[in-house]
Structure formats: C-alpha cells, structure tokens
Chain A
Amino acid sequence: ELKVEQNPLFLSMQEGKNYTIYCNYSTTSDRLYWYRQDPGKSLESLFVLLSNGAVKQEGRLMASLDTKARLSTLHITAAVHDLSATYFCAVDIFGIQGAQKLVFGQGTRLTINP
C-alpha cells in the first residue's frame, strides 16, 4: 500500500525567511504532484514532477524530486504572506486503462506572518 507523508504538518514562519516542506512516499513512482489549497477553496495544481532529478520553479516556490530516496521537497524562498495556504503532495498509481489514482499526503498548513 502506497503511503505519502508530509512534514511538517504545520509551519508558521516570518516573511522573508526560507523553508522546506518534505514529502516522503513508500513505493517506487516517477510522478509526483504538488497542489495548493486556500481555506474553503479547491486545489490548484502547482507542479508536476515526472522523473528523477526533476526540478520546477515558479516564483518563490521550487519543487524537486529524488525518486531513489522517494522524496520530494517544496522550497519556499523569501516567503511572503500571499503564500499562506495548505500544500499537498500526491503520488499517482496506475488504475484501469490509464487512469491514475492520486495518493495524497496529509497536507502542510503554512502560515506566513508579517
């Protein structure tokens, strides 16, 4: 059974600081996804990582994937208040006829204080 674990689950940080969210998963996969969720809202796709060593960057967020270590990281650089949200990683496993079922981590609730 595939398990996906994130840490930390809660993170409170100051604007301008750097921090990293970790996502570990238990079985081999080359595909990992990062989503953002604002309170009461839906999930917004941030990054799709498709191979070992993949690195994607968007603004102050950078995601990477190490399939050998079964680890993905989401790095936040010089945090700003607008990045406050809950961040989820997810790994997919194949379903029937190409369907890909996502297994999510528990989520990391990030609060950025002025």
Chain B
Amino acid sequence: DAGITQSPRHKVTETGTPVTLRCHQTENHRYMYWYRQDPGHGLRLIHYSYGVKDTDKGEVSDGYSVSRSKTEDFLLTLESATSSQTSVYFCAISEGIGGFYNEQFFGPGTRLTVL
C-alpha cells in the first residue's frame, strides 16, 4: 500500500458542528485529492492540491474547505456539517510521472455520519 493514512477512520457528529479530516502521506507526492463516495455516484472530487498552500475546487466543493501547510498533510474541513455530507471520504495522492498521467493511490477512507 502507498503510504497514506487518514484520520479519523470513523466519525459520528451532529448537524452544525465543524469537522476536520486529515490525510497524511509518507511518499512525498506532489498532488493530493479529496473524494467522497456515495451509492450510485461512484467517487466525486471535492478539492485537490497541486503543492503546499496550492489548492483548487473539484466537482462538489460547496460546504468544504481544504488546507495544505506541508507536503505530507492535506486537511478537509466541513465548517458546519449537514446530513447531506454523510459519506465515505477518500484521500488520494499522485506524483505526476513526466507530466503525462498521474496514477492515483487511495487512502483507507473515513466514514463520516452527520446526525
């Protein structure tokens, strides 16, 4: 397995509370991504990072913010969690081989339930 960990692995929270999920990598890869997985939708990109302090929005970014203060850590924050954000969240990393394609490797996932 690529050196990717996510924390926490499971979390139950209440509507309106802030939540931060952490992705940590030991591969020194440049690119990091946050996806959410919901039944019938596959995985959808929330935000991604192309370097320290460099981030951009993905397909479903509303209600989420991210930060990357060092290469190895990429944080996903739900400022005020809603029930629609109940999901499984996956972090992914990639290096960028020759700039042509980036095979992405996925972390173990975080199951978040918002009551």
Residues of A that sit less than 8 Å from B by CB: 4, 31, 33, 35, 41-43, 45, 48, 50, 88, 90, 92, 95-107
Q: Is there an interface contact between B101 and A48, defined as CB atoms closer than 8 Å?
A: yes
Asked if B106 and A43 make an inter-chain contact with CB atoms under 8 angstroms apart, the answer reads: yes
Once the chains are docked, how many angstroms separate the CA of A31 from the CA of B97? 14
Task: Pick the residue among B90, B99, B101 that contacts A43 (CB under 8 A).
Answer: B90
CA distance A35 to B35 in the complex (A): 14
Tell me how many residue pairs across A and B have CB atoms closer than 8 Å: 77
Contact A95–B90 (Cβ < 8 Å): no
Interface majority SS (helix, strand, loop, mixed), chain B: strand
B residues sitting closer than 8 Å to A (CB atoms) are: 30-31, 33, 35, 40-45, 48-51, 54, 56, 58-59, 90, 92, 94, 96, 99-109
- B99 x A98 contact (CB < 8 A): yes
> Are B41 and A106 closer than 8 Å at their CB atoms?
yes
A30 to chain B, nearest CB (A): 9
Identify 29 residue pairs between A and B in the complex whose beta-carbon atoms are under 8 Å apart, listed by A's number. A33-B103, A33-B104, A41-B108, A41-B109, A43-B43, A43-B90, A50-B101, A90-B42, A92-B101, A92-B102, A95-B56, A96-B50, A96-B54, A97-B51, A98-B31, A98-B102, A99-B48, A99-B49, A99-B56, A99-B96, A101-B33, A101-B59, A102-B33, A102-B35, A102-B43, A103-B45, A104-B44, A106-B42, A107-B42
Contact indicator A96/B56 (Cβ below 8 Å): yes
B96 x A42 contact (CB < 8 A): no
